[in-house]
Amino acid sequence: MNRLVLLAGLLTMALAGCSLGAKTPPPTPTAVPSTPAPPTLPPVTLTPTPAEILVIVTAELINCRIGPSTVFETINEIREGRTLTAVGRNDTSTWWFVEDPINPGGFCWVSAEVTDEQGDTSQLPITQGSLVTVTDVVLRVEPSRIVVNCSQFPQTVFFEAEITTNGPTLFTWRWEASTGAISDVGTLIFEEAGTQVINEFYQVNAPNEYWIKLLVLTPNERVEQVNFPVSCTP
């Protein structure tokens, strides 16, 4: 009887050992939905509103010029009582850079002495003066045509150019001829807007179709050319 009890105990222990040695399967992972990150908005850059001040013309008739001084060319004239929009000033606040009331989209300068300001003009940005340029060149040759005896060479030809600028500037230029001749660089000072004259002469030694060019170097590049025929008779 004792032997049966012992055998039953041993069998129970063996079954329990098998049960303890078995591995429990791991739990099945549960997918957790991810929450998308909120979109990142670009930084907002605020553009400051340009300052604008109204100014009223107080003189009977004033000049609106290309630059902040009386040495600059007048673009147009504005009558008393006209209200202008100033968008800039010079560094001494003696001239206002205004929207041109006669040329939409354009700008010009009026003197503070002939306007009444309707606001704090110190808020206006300091604006540089307008670009000075050569606005017109009139080139002439004298004589414009040469017909001489073939024994009468060389012949002298004179050139003249009227130069107009819209303000004070340093004007430089050079002459070039169809024969390959090139002059030195010339200089001329414009103390204010206006017209000045330069001239040159040149000799030709045979009949031909000649030309001469005036090359404007400063304040802006420009080229003007004039042609002159030269012929001869035996």
Domains and CATH numbers, the chain: 53-123 (2.30.30.40), 134-233 (2.60.40.10)
pLDDT at 41 > cutoff 50: no
Using 50, 70 and 90 to split pLDDT, how confident is the model at 206? very high
Long-range contact list for 16-25, CB < 8 A, 24+ apart? none
Confidence of residue 1 (pLDDT cuts 50, 70, 90): very low
Res. 20: pLDDT tops 50: no
CA–CA separation, 77 vs 215, rounded Å? 33
Residue with the larger pLDDT of the pair 67 and 45: 67
Least confident piece of the model among 7-16, 78-87, 98-107: 7-16
Q: Over pLDDT 70: what percentage of the chain? A: 79
How far is it, in rounded angstroms, from Cα 99 to Cα 90?
15
Taking residue 174's Cβ as centre, other Cβ atoms within 10 Å add up to 14
CA distances from 166 to 140, 161, 171 (A): 21, 17, 12
SS (H, E, C) 83-141: EEEEEEECCCCCEEEEECCCCCCCEEEEEHHHEEECCCHHHCCECCCCCCCEEEEEEEE
pTM of the full structure: 0.74
Mean per-residue pLDDT, 63-74: 96
